[in-house]
Amino acid sequence: MTIRLGLHMCGWGAQPLPDLLGAARQLGYDGVELAPAWLEKTYDGLGEVDRFLAQERVPLAPAVFVGGPRIDAVGLARSVDQTRRYARWAREHGGDRVIFSTVPGKDGCRTDEERERLRRAWDAVAEAATSEGCTPLYHNHYVVSHEVSRALLEEDMELLDWPVWKLCVDTGHLVLALQDPVPFVEKWADRIAWVHGKDVRVSTFAKPEEPRPMAGIVSHFTSLGSGVVDFAGIIAVLQQAGYDEWLVVEQDASPDPYATSKASRQHLLPLIDV
């Protein structure tokens, strides 16, 4: 089986969901990845999302994005409930994976207490996901600064229970965490079950230790193939490892999401068909 190409809703901003679904169908993507928590803020429940999917005849890629679990007691209970609901929704659409992102401490890097509470939170949401027949995936994400992002990623690679968890690699956020994506993917290939394809304009950053909000980071992102990420190298490593899952194009922000989604797919196609 070959790598399948998906399109993520991130980057389409306030545009109606049918616009994203129609673009995915017109451009020939194999499916879309959605974040139900985001959609519930806009639409009248996931039933309306189901209707859009049926109307546009677009399949849901078999993973949904949940977000980082909360580590306080009340927030964690809510995260567990969301995990169960969204995993169930994914299963209704043929999915079997839920994605969770990096959780920083109060001031970025975690204290020992925050680290232990996060360990318990990871276990709780993983149990919720597996109870609904889904695999939990860890998604590396930029937080606070480039240096903090690198530190948290390295910590999480040791903290998570990998027989239970699998890895959702975000190529752009690897660059933001001062990682070279190709050797990272080569090192952790046996844990990778999902890929978010994101490209970045630069590979080095001034003052990587300096805090920078995510809103100031999105300007670094660009369509796949027009930045520094070596997708040919990444895909070659994945294929050599027998990877036959999804590579989901995720823009985060784009002045013209249709054009960048088209350009990104055109860049990837010859790489996965070799």
DSSP 105: B
Neighbour tally for 157: CB within 10 Å: 16
Tokens of 141: 């994400």
Q: Cα–Cα distance between 250 and 8 in angstroms, integer? A: 5
pLDDT value for 42 = 92
pLDDT of residue 123: 97
Domain definitions of the chain by residue range: 4-251
CATH of the domain spanning 4-251: 3.20.20.150
Average pLDDT, the chain: 95
What H or E segment, with its residue span, contains residue 170?
Answer: strand 166-170
Alpha-carbon distance of 150 to 212, in angstroms, equals 14
Cβ-count burial 26-43 (b if 16+ within 10 Å, e if not): ebebbbbbbbbeebbeeb
Q: What is the pLDDT of residue 274?
A: 56
124: pLDDT confidence band, cut at 50, 70 and 90? very high
pLDDT in tens, 15-35: 899 999 999 999 999 999 999
Position 1 confidence tier, pLDDT thresholds 50, 70, 90 = low
Residue 30 to residue 199: CA distance in whole angstroms: 20
The mean pLDDT value for 30-55 works out to 94
d(C-alpha 93, C-alpha 79), whole Å: 21
